[in-house]
Amino acid sequence: MRQLEVGALIVVVLLGCAVAVIITRRNYLLRGSGGISLALRAAAPDLTSGRPSASGASTQSRWALGLGRFNGDELRWYRLFGLAIKPRYVLHRSEIELTSRRAPQGPEIHSLPADAVILECRHGQQRLELAVVGTAATGLSSWLESAAPDVGL
């Protein structure tokens, strides 16, 4: 019986440490300004061509919750539940093309916050969907549109 109590205590302490590490990482990533809650979904590639499919949400990967951090002309995206300090995606403003804006539909309603806005965009050849909440959608759209035009100098 004593071993069971010690084992349970060890499990509780380890879970507490894991939660503390995740919270500390989140605070580290959001320090200063320029951080937003940002869910990301990349288009699943078409198995025949290897290119992203444009046929809709049924061929999409799952939504991944994360944090977006603006750094100059880059939007760096980090997974919410992870240990990595390096971003999973680095989106360059000059390479992002905003294609549409919509509300969550179908099963997305249960995966995302109620007031989320989904921004569909292209980053190079990859199709992405970014889900942001409330005024962050306006801020992200403004950041994208404020890029200087590529004049090829």
pLDDT given for residue 139 in this prediction: 84
Q: pLDDT tens digits, residue range 69-116?
A: 888 889 999 888 877 778 899 999 889 888 999 999 888 888 888 889
One of 3.40.50.300, 1.10.510.10, 2.30.29.30, 3.20.20.120 is the CATH number of 33-145, namely: 2.30.29.30
What is the SS3 assignment for 78?
strand
Q: Looking at this protein, which amino acid is placed at residue 115?
A: D
> How much is the pLDDT for 11?
92
Q: Find the DSSP H helices in the chain.
A: 2-29, 108-111, 135-145
The pLDDT of residue 39 is 92
Question: Which tokens sit at 102?
Answer: 């919509």
The residues spanned by each domain of the chain are: 1-31, 33-145
pLDDT of residue 48: 41
Strand locations in 4-136, DSSP E?
35-37, 39-42, 66-71, 74-79, 89-92, 96-102, 116-123, 126-133
29-75: per-residue pLDDT in tens? 667 666 788 899 987 544 344 444 444 444 457 899 888 888 888 99
> Given this model, what pLDDT does residue 13 score?
93
Q: Are 70 and 34 in contact (CB under 8 A)?
A: yes
